[in-house]
């Protein structure tokens, strides 16, 4: 960023009381524990501050990216120029008249536990999915027990011009790891979830724990990873294709295709994002050569996928 523009930005952030850091390591915010620094990283603690920061950046032509829990991203080793907005402090959650209202930075574990505490069923599937409400709605995150499209009622977003909209679920175009928000590059501000399915709290908790146990036994959680690397190709299972292409245990540097769950890549320690990306390309090539199937990436190259 140009020096004068950066100074104006910093003066603005100070004036508006928006917490920020310069050359801030993003590694700690990435599930893979890889990647470089954010030139300016902001932590707004209100939606108003996020909106102000966004509007200022837009006016000055500064790139503005949003990061939730970092559970689905591969952060560039050379870092991110411009502003990275981490939503961690946008974490308000409330229950009102059969609805749960959550800001974009609410962790999914909190959302699920909050629903349980209110005796509301339907959120159990999200208990063990890392990340935040914003990241989950962008991806329509889910598993065999449910997905965000099942519980979302309304989603409040901001478009690239800074205009706010409220989308009812029927207009969110939720699909398999897809939404209109992802397609259009909208920023999720907050969401209203349907919280009308009441159930015995003990049953809710026991399902949450069952799902968690099941997942913990399948996933290679002993190493940093960001969940499934690829989307499920129609008619196949990515993990099976990867296994049958002989990719289990395949390595580039310190990134390795997990032996425990072939759909995951793990960081054995000191891997770089480039190691992970090169390994992804290698797996895609081997699977394509053997099965003629193109594995589509679920994980996001941050920020390249937005440039």
Indicate whether 279 belongs to the interface with ligand FAD (CB under 6 A): no
Q: Provide CB contacts within 8 A for 33, sequence distance 6+.
A: 27, 224, 267
Least distance between ligand FAD and beta carbon 274 (Å): 18
The residues annotated as belonging to the active site are 177, 228, 298
Q: Decide whether 35 or 68 has the Cβ nearer to ligand FAD.
A: 68
Indicate whether 300 belongs to the interface with ligand FAD (CB under 6 A): yes
Rounded CA separation 115/207 (Å):
13
Rounded CA separation 26/29 (Å):
5
Interactions with ligand FAD, residue window 115-144 (CB under 6 A):
129-132, 134-136, 138-139, 141-143
Interactions with ligand FAD, residue window 11-40 (CB under 6 A):
31
Least distance between ligand FAD and beta carbon 8 (Å): 25
- Over 82-109, what HEC string results? EEEEECCCCCCEEEECCEEEEECCCEHH
Report how many residues bind ligand FAD under the rule CB under 6 A: 31
- Alpha helices, H only, 152-253: 180-184, 201-218, 238-244
From the list 34-42, 109-117, 224-232, 233-241, the region that binds ligand FAD by CB under 6 A is 224-232
For 284, phi then psi, to 5°, come to: -60, -40
Indicate whether 227 belongs to the interface with ligand FAD (CB under 6 A): yes
Q: Provide CB contacts within 8 A for 261, sequence distance 6+.
A: 218, 219, 220, 239
Indicate whether 219 belongs to the interface with ligand FAD (CB under 6 A): yes
What does the per-residue mask of binding to ligand FAD show for 53-82, with x meaning CB under 6 A?
------------xxxxxxxxx---------
Rounded CA separation 59/231 (Å):
36
DSSP secondary structure code for residue 306 in this structure: G
| Binding residues for ligand FAD (CB under 6 A) | 31, 65-73, 87, 104, 129-132, 134-136, 138-139, 141-143, 187-188, 219, 225-227, 300
């Amino acid at each position: 960023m140009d020096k004068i523009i950066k100074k104006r930005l910093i003066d603005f952030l100070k004036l508006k009381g928006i917490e920020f850091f310069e050359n801030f390591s993003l590694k700690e915010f990435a599930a893979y524990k890889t990647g470089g620094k954010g030139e300016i990283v902001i932590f707004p603690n209100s939606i108003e501050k996020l909106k102000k920061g966004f509007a200022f950046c837009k006016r000055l032509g500064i790139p503005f990216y949003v990061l939730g829990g970092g559970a689905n991203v591969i952060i560039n080793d050379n870092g991110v120029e411009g502003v990275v907005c981490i939503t961690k402090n946008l974490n308000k959650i409330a229950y009102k008249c059969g609805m749960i209202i959550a800001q974009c930075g609410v962790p999914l574990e909190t959302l699920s536990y909050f629903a349980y505490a209110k005796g509301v069923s339907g959120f159990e599937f999200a208990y063990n999915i890392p990340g935040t409400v914003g990241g989950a709605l962008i991806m329509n995150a889910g598993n065999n027990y449910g997905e965000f499209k099942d519980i979302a009622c309304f989603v409040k977003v901001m478009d690239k011009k800074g205009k706010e909209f409220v989308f009812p679920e029927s207009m969110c175009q939720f699909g398999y790891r897809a939404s209109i928000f992802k397609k259009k590059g909208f920023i999720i501000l907050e969401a209203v979830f349907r919280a009308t399915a009441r159930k015995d709290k003990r049953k809710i908790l026991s399902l949450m724990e069952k799902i968690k146990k099941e997942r913990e036994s399948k996933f290679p959680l002993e190493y940093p990873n960001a969940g499934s690397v690829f989307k499920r190709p129609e008619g196949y299972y990515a993990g099976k294709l990867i296994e049958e292409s002989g990719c289990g245990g395949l390595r580039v540097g310190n990134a390795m295709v997990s032996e425990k769950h072939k759909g995951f890549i793990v960081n054995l320690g000191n891997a770089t994002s480039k190691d992970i990306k090169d390994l992804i390309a290698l797996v895609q090539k081997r699977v394509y050569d053997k099965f003629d199937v193109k594995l589509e990436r679920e994980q996001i190259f941050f920020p390249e996928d937005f440039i």
